[in-house]
Structure 1
């Protein structure tokens, strides 16, 4: 599954649009969104946990004040969020086939 399709699929679930079948014809006629899909952070995190069983595995704070978070699920799905100081999160990446990082011991000098 391509990155765009996976991210769009997650956004539809997160935003609660997957069940609104009446709106699909109108959505199909609209141009693709220009920016990443965004919503309140608590809502996105809740949906990632409920729908994909994704849990946070890492985070980092940028100098700009943006919080980057990586969520990974047991089936290998992953989502990268960026959150503003105001609590608005945007899905900036996602996909399948996530593989765990090497253990710290693998970086030890030999």
Structure 2
């Protein structure tokens, strides 16, 4: 498998270039639609999971077929923050009746 150790930094750079506000080295925020478009267009990442976090917040996981992944938290006002990114994502399927 090809590894992209600098992919999270590239995502952060592209997010800053789009005018999404950097919050910390691990987090960048801006309008959700801009972040989703960036992940799709430049990294071929699509949503693979979604869940409710704190009241009104939605956590999404985006991943690509090459293994890159990004976690995004969206607030009720539509502002989304990149909270983690990496590589070598793998989907795990639990077999019914197995202990793990």
Per the TM superposition, whether the score is higher than 0.5 is yes
Tell whether 2:65 aligns with 1:64. no
1:45 corresponds to: 36
Gaps of 5+ in 1: 18-31
Bigger-Rg structure (1/2): 1
CA offsets 1:65-108 (integer angstroms, 9 cap, x no match):
11100000011000000001000111100100001121x4x132
Matched, 1:87 2:78: yes
Q: 2:97 aligns with which of 79, 97, 108?
A: 108
* Alpha-carbon distance, 1:35 to partner: 6.6
TM-score (norm 2): 0.78
Tell me how far 1:39 sits from its aligned partner. 1.1
Where is the strand percentage greater, Structure 1 or Structure 2? Answer: 2
- Residues in 2 aligned to 1:34 and 1:72: alpha-carbon distance in whole angstroms: 20
Residue 17 of structure 2 corresponds to 16
SS at match of 1:108: coil
Q: How many residues align?
A: 91
Name the TM-score, length of structure 1 as normaliser.
0.71
1:75 maps to: 66
